[in-house]
A and B are shown apart, each in its own frame.
Chain A
Amino acid sequence: MTAVIEAEGLSKFYGRRRGLENLTLTVAAGEVFGYLGPNGAGKTTTIRLLLDVIRPTRGRIRILGKDPRDHRVRARIGYLPGELSLEGTERAREYLEFLAQVRGSGRSQIPVLAERLEADLSVSMGKLSKGNKQKVGLIQAFMHNPDLLVLDEPTSGLDPLVQQEFLAMVREARNAGRTVLMSSHVLAEVEHVSDRVGVVRGGRLVAVEGVAALREKAIRRVEFHFDAPVPPEAFEGLPGVRDLRVEGTAVRCTIDGRPDALIKAAARFTVVHMVSEEPDLEEIFLAYYSEEEDHAYAGA
């Protein structure tokens, strides 16, 4: 498979402040790549480098086989900025038509996508609600059927139903052989559509994993409530179980990886209630960090 995005040793410094350091990443054609990290980690810096809005301090980028400086390549890219700013008295429809005209395609998709996302395009740009603004942003990114979609925090401001529709659009794009790079600070937003995710933190890409593998690494907080007090020994020493606290009828712990052993241990008693929190990204980071520290320690 050919690479749609190739970054090699990519670094960006804003003066002395580090935006991104030594990123090497390849995204293949037809892949949906989730780009994860907390705010300020370097996601937006990476994305703006791909679009040639900012220029790398060091390193090399090829996008759809071209240098991002070649402006013609941008006709084949759909871009949703992380901080989408739409202003003015012009109606959203007129603005989208202007974009279609410059790109030379996509005009016919405007009403189709507007209906799908239930966007009101008769409103002037400056008066769009946050959700509607994001919809206009998505329409302009998808409307010309670009070979590559670069979406920075695409689901922010969308209500859950529209989010579902958006994820369906991403899946359709992938099924049509297009490539998607989407960023998020929440794993849950990208995990259902992404093939791989990259985790960026402090300007460095700390991991690239298949989604399934990342989920296995995720820490999950679990709580069981039983109809009678349970003996602590029944839960001690289970593989992957940490921070175990047994208090009367309740068992609380975090699990690292598969919950299988814990579930089987709990199944021997009568479970009246169970809580399992979705792993959040913060905790995955912690998992990675402790791993990195372990390596550092082992190397010392």
Chain B
Amino acid sequence: MKVRVIAATVMVLLLAGCSSAPARLAPSPAATPTATSAATPKPAPTAVIDVPVQSSELTAPVATVPPVRIRVPSVQIDIPVGPVGVGDDGLMEIPFDIRTAGWYQYGPAPESATGSTVITAHVDSFEQGLGPFAYLKELSAGAEVIVTAADGADYRYIVESVQNVEKKQLPLDQVFDRDGAPRLVLITCGGQFDENVLNYSDNIVVIANPA
């Protein structure tokens, strides 16, 4: 008997739910004043839609775990990685040491659910010679890349493509993508070298997907 009553009540609630106001709010037709003063007491109404509510208290930001090492066994790359940002010239910062790679710290990290982890290193310098990232252009599709994060976790990626892109045509919003599928993007320089401005014409871009 008791069970039956509860069931009936649930039915009523379900029916009430079905017939209640539409769940989507719409603009008022012409901002006409709504009917006022309900003389008869009514039960407390329930909200028509479920709106996410959170506290506005000050909270400490959640830090991402940075990558600290990158290995590409097929071309003998095994170098440390440090966090970098943006220089005063608006270009991505890159470690002076050509045997250290820089991770774009404002973008995704290997643990991120979405977007591209971007790691770059200088291809060369007059004082230091040719750097390990000079061998990126030798990579084949299917090559393995291992990125180690500061917590010791290894993230494995498989190279999808190696591209030679003229710098002024590099789609920066896509390279530094934060919302798409998780990927690893390795960048260095290549193409022709302009002796007058000491600058390469192209970027070498490696795109790798989680293994």
Do they bind each other? no
Q: Which A positions have Cβ atoms within 8 angstroms of B? A: none
